[in-house]
A and B are shown apart, each in its own frame.
Chain A
Amino acid sequence: MDEAALVEQARDGDLNAFNRLVLEYQDMAFNLAARMLDDDDAAADVTQVAFLSAYKSLDTFRGGSFRAWVLRMVSNACYDELRRRKRRPTVSLEPVNDDDEEMESPAWLADDSPSPEDELERTELDSALQTCLGGLGEEFRTVVLMIDVEGLDYQEVSEATGKPLGTIKSRLARARLKLRDCLRQFGELLPSIYRLDDEVMP
């Protein structure tokens, strides 16, 4: 896929060319949104809004990493959603029992787990990770997700966030440090291979 050619065609109004780019980057975009918001439904809405915004503002793309530019749209849409949540806190839709307490759905009841043990391990890691990511500030979370989860380099993250390289380095280091301290608290709950102790790293 010639990305530059597709971008140019999309700028000329070729919707099919733009949709090919959507297919290429939608998993990455959704994953970032889901990790930012910790809500798959909200992440889907945000991802759709982000791609629609990207199509409308294609003229503002001045070259460089198109992947970084898409993630910029996604992160901006996530910030909008997070601000909206702060203004209007949502009421949980989880069912309540007779005592008006929310009944959380047990994770092991999910249908798509390959095996209960693997799913538990994966779920616990994911849960621990998501909990610790939720404890980071939005801008720190964005940087560590883009670099360590999505695999962008420092320059791409600088383009996506509009921040200088020095700021990216600083925020990444502080985010990793805070995640380290947070994940250490889970300790035994994490699969042994992921435990942050003196054991051999994977």
Chain B
Amino acid sequence: MRAQINDRDFEQLSAYMDGQLAPTEQRKLEERLRARPDLQEALDDLRRTRALLRSAPRRRAPRNFTLTPEMVGEQAGRRRRGGFFNNLFPTLSFASAVATLLLIATLLLDLTPGLSPSTASVPEAPAAGEDARLMTKEGGPAGAAPQMEAAPSIMSENPAEPAAGEANSAGPVIIWGPQGGYGMGGGNGSPDVAWGRGGGGGGMEGLGGGGAGPWGVDGGGQIIVPQESVDSMQPDNYVAPEAVQPDPSISGTGPILGVAPTDQTGQIIEREAINQGLPVEQQPAPTVVEEQPVPQQDADVAQERVLGVPLRLAQIVLAVLAVVTGVAAFLLRRR
């Protein structure tokens, strides 16, 4: 009686017969062969079958199957030329891949904010601890600054900035001038921080959305907020600034309302001098604390003009190169 052996067993026996079993599997199978005569018989059957196949008469080629130039025809010549063109295939493929990758890189550069020259960076809001030129040392808008009444503060929230609780913190004051500058406004030490920007170059953006909404921009580039908006944003303990009487000793253009003297534009004057209420002419020589950067927006526009055009040209060239080399590689492969 012939025992039933499954396909897995036959597969193992067949591989064992050809020496294709791993040493561990071979050892296990040999143990099973010693224990099961039916497995041994199946192995013997497979060995006879393989022997019969190996002894089958071999059919010799009735003629030579060598190729003649006529049989190959143009293909022989094409083979030589094709060799050269086929060698181009990997080069063209590589070139196409590289061009595509570079194109993707330039596109990513264009899309990544902050890295692309076409993206105008957002100017940073000044630190909340800094007081505006509209603020006074005493923690309220009712300081010695005589311009408070004429230019109400600009209110806005800037939760990213630290609380402006330190109304007493001294900070540099920037004089408006033709180059424009930054200013800050706040209200009585409230955490709300206001800031605005303007410039002689016509930068009109501000938190008012470039002039949209209820806020407007005056001719000097200052953002004017209606008083109702200011009042609605005031905290409960807000104390309205006292009206400041104009100082008759200050004449001509002042540091805030008008155009600053040309020799003082762009400079930072220590608060102490201002808080002392000294007229401009009597203030000590300004100490330049830090250089005023050119308004970031103007710098970005200029930078975009310098780098944007070459970047676009590079993208176009890379796209064309990728397509041309890719099509050429595809055509050569088909040959």
Alpha-carbon separation in the docked complex, A141 to B15 (Å): 17
User: Is the pair B53, A149 in contact by a Cβ cutoff of 8 Å?
Assistant: yes
Q: How far is the CA of A122 from the CA of B55 in the complex (A)?
A: 10
Contact, CB under 8 Å: A179 / B49? yes
Q: B335 to chain A: closest CB distance in Å?
A: 10
Q: Are B61 and A30 in contact (CB under 8 A)?
A: yes
Closest to B66 in A: A19
Report Cα–Cα, A129/B18, bound state, in Å: 21
- A29 vs B200: C-alpha distance in the bound complex, in angstroms? 89
CB pair B76 A15 closer than 8 Å: yes
Stretch from B6-14, B132-140, B141-149 forming part of the interface with A:
B6-14
Residues 150-202 of A at the B interface (beta carbon under 8 Å): 154, 169-170, 172-174, 176-177, 179-180, 183, 194, 196, 201-202
Partner of B20, one of A15, A23, A149, A154: A154
Answer yes or no: A27 CB below 8 A from chain B CBs: yes
Q: Is A44 an interface residue (CB 8 A)?
A: yes
Let me know if B231 is at the binding interface, CB within 8 A: no
Is B28 close to A, CB under 8 A? no
B65→A183 contact, CB < 8 A:
no
Q: Is B54 an interface residue (CB 8 A)?
A: yes
**Residue contact B51 to A144, C-beta cutoff 8 Å:** no
Whether A12 is near chain B, meaning CB under 8 Å from some CB there, is: yes
Contact A13 B76 (CB under 8 A): yes
Please count the residue pairs between chain A and chain B whose beta carbons lie under 8 angstroms apart in the complex: 131
Could you say which of A11, A27, A129, A169 contacts B14, with CB atoms under 8 Å apart?
A: A169
Q: Given the known inter-chain contacts A169-B20, A172-B14, A201-B51, please indicate yes or no for A126 contacting B67, CB distance below 8 A.
A: no
Selected from B20, B50, B59, B71, the residue in CB contact (under 8 A) with A148 is B50
Max count, chain A CB within 10 A of own CB: residue among B53, B59, B69, B75 = B53
CA distance A18 to B66 in the complex (A): 8
CB contact list, B52-89 vs A, under 8 A: 52-67, 69, 71-72, 75-76, 79-80, 82-83, 86
List the B residue with the shortest CB-CB distance to A184.
Answer: B45
A126 with B65, Cβ < 8 A, contacts A52-B71, A196-B45 known: no
| 10 extra A-B contacts, CB within 8 A, seeds A59-B83, A144-B53, A194-B55 | A11-B83, A29-B65, A51-B65, A55-B75, A125-B57, A173-B11, A176-B10, A179-B53, A180-B48, A201-B48
